[in-house]
């Protein structure tokens, strides 16, 4: 004779199993019909910048793979955090995705981003890095990085540089370099790299700290590149030393990533991960990445999430080292 409790337990377990099977089946059916309309891709930077160009190329290819167009929507401001917050707050139905700047690991701790990158996003892919550098106008008296540092030491706080926003990669990277070099610089924030570039080209600022928006202007003879910030020299400007080669142990790459709001259907997540994996490997994207001096740094969603968590811990130390909370208030 069956124990009543055992019977109830089997009934509950059976019901749970049936519910799980139903949920899995429902998820698969949803993924088979998804996407039924175009997707929106939130780019947290102004149109025309290097990140914007990179993301548009990816979305063009991924859209073809998914069978629906992906419309890029620029929501710039607050060093990329306006767009990041919009992405975290969006409905997790697979129709809103976007770029997740790695600086979310910093800004969430500084209070600028009202979201936690460790739990508020679904990570789809890490795509490519960026080539950062310090550039000055061609007529600048700074012929080398050594000249730049010497002048800054002789005139503390007088040398100005443009960057894409307080607390972003270009600002923090430049301040880290200044700290290692023992100099004090005067930072001038802009809404994005393209605006910062115009500030330097217009003669309003002494130097530019940015990803490769400066590249065509360096080749055209309008700007002079003093140093790049990667582990190795960029092939396009192989005669320009890195910060590390110049005696300053600073490396900045700030790779781009793609994600969605937390709670995305697992089957849809898998389709998006596959689409962007193919997009990163496509000849079309590789050509754009090469033009932007953006090294491919692909990671699949789960590995990208692990990377974000590792960077989050490192940022905790960097925030204290550079006194970023005080800088954000100044």
Band (pLDDT 50/70/90 cuts) for residue 322 is: confident
Transcribe 84-99 into DSSP letters. HHHHHHS-SSSSEEEE
Question: Quick check: 81 and 107 in contact, CB under 8 A?
Answer: yes
- Scanning the structure block, which residue is given the tokens 């290097």? 50
Residue 22 has pLDDT above 60, yes or no: no
Beta-carbon contacts of 317 under 8 Å, excluding residues fewer than 6 positions away, are none
Q: What is the DSSP letter of 268?
A: H
Distance in angstroms (rounded) separating the CA atoms of residues 117 and 15: 35
* pLDDT score at 330: 67
Question: Quick check: 293 and 218 in contact, CB under 8 A?
Answer: no
* pLDDT score at 11: 63
Summarised one tens digit per residue, pLDDT across range 130-181 is 899 999 999 999 999 999 999 999 999 999 999 988 888 899 999 999 999 9
Domain boundaries, the chain: 36-130+254-329, 133-237
Distance in angstroms (rounded) separating the CA atoms of residues 171 and 188: 9
Residue 260 has pLDDT above 90, yes or no: yes
- Count the Cβ atoms, other than its own, within 10 Å of residue 20: 10
What average pLDDT does the structure give for the chain? 91
Q: What is the DSSP letter of 44?
A: -
Name the CA radius of gyration of the chain, rounded.
23
Angle at 54 between CA 49 and CA 60, to 5 degrees: 125
Question: Sheet containing 186-189: which strands, arranged edge to edge?
Answer: 186-189, 160-163, 207-210, 133-137, 223-228
Distance in angstroms (rounded) separating the CA atoms of residues 83 and 78: 9
Q: Collapse the DSSP code of 254 into the 3-class scheme (helix H, G, I; strand E, B; otherwise coil) and give the result.
A: coil
- Count the Cβ atoms, other than its own, within 10 Å of residue 270: 15
Question: Quick check: 211 and 228 in contact, CB under 8 A?
Answer: no
Pairing of strands 39-43, 96-99: parallel
* pLDDT score at 7: 63
* pLDDT score at 166: 84
Asked if the domains 36-130+254-329 and 133-237 are classified in one and the same CATH topology, the answer is yes
Residue 278 has pLDDT above 80, yes or no: yes
Average the pLDDT over 241-253 and give the result. 95
Superfamily classification of domain 36-130+254-329: Bordetella uptake gene, domain 1 (3.40.190.150)
* pLDDT score at 30: 60
Backbone phi, psi, residue 156, to 5°: -55, 130
Query: For the chain, what percent of residues have pLDDT higher than 70?
Result: 91
pTM for the predicted model, two decimal places:
0.78
* pLDDT score at 3: 65
CATH class as words, domain 133-237:
alpha beta
Give Dmax (Cα) for the chain.
96
Average the pLDDT over 118-125 and give the result. 97
Summarised one tens digit per residue, pLDDT across range 57-114 is 999 999 999 999 999 999 998 888 999 999 999 999 999 999 999 999 999 999 999 9
Residue 18 has pLDDT above 60, yes or no: no
Tell whether the torsion through CA atoms of 140, 143, 144 and 150 is positive or negative: negative
* pLDDT score at 87: 98
> Which residues on neighbouring strands pair with residue 74, listed in sequence order?
43
Band (pLDDT 50/70/90 cuts) for residue 327 is: confident
């Amino acid at each position: 004779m069956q124990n009543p409790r055992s019977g109830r337990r089997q009934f509950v377990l059976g019901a749970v199993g049936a519910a799980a099977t139903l949920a899995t089946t429902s998820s698969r059916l949803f993924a088979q019909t998804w996407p039924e309309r175009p997707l929106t891709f939130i780019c947290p930077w102004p149109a025309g910048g290097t990140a914007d160009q990179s993301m548009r190329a990816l979305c063009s290819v991924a859209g073809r793979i998914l069978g629906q167009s992906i419309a890029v929507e620029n929501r710039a401001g607050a060093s990329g955090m306006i767009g990041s917050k919009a992405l975290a707050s969006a409905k997790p139905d697979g129709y809103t995705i976007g770029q997740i700047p790695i600086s979310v690991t910093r800004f969430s701790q500084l209070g600028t981003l009202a979201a936690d990158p460790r739990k508020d996003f679904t990570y789809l892919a890490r795509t490519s890095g960026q080539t950062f550098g310090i550039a000055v106008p061609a007529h600048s008296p700074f012929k080398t990085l050594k000249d730049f540092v010497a002048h800054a030491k002789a005139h503390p706080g007088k040398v100005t540089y443009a960057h894409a926003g307080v607390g972003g990669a270009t600002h923090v990277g430049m301040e880290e370099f200044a700290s290692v070099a023992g100099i004090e610089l005067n930072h001038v924030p802009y809404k994005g790299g393209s605006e910062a570039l115009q500030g330097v080209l217009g003669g309003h600022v002494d130097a530019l700290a940015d990803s490769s928006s400066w590249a065509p202007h360096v080749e055209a003879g309008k700007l002079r590149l003093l140093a790049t910030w990667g582990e190795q020299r960029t092939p396009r400007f192989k005669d320009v030393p890195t910060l590390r080669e110049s005696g300053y142990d600073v490396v900045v790459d700030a790779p781009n990533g793609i994600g969605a709001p937390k709670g995305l259907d697992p089957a849809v997540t898998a389709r998006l991960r596959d689409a962007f994996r193919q997009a990163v490997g496509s000849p079309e994207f590789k050509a754009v990445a090469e033009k932007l001096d953006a090294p491919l740094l692909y990671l699949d969603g789960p590995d990208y999430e692990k990377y974000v968590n590792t960077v989050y811990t490192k940022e905790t130390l960097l925030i204290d080292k550079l006194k970023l909370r005080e800088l954000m208030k100044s």
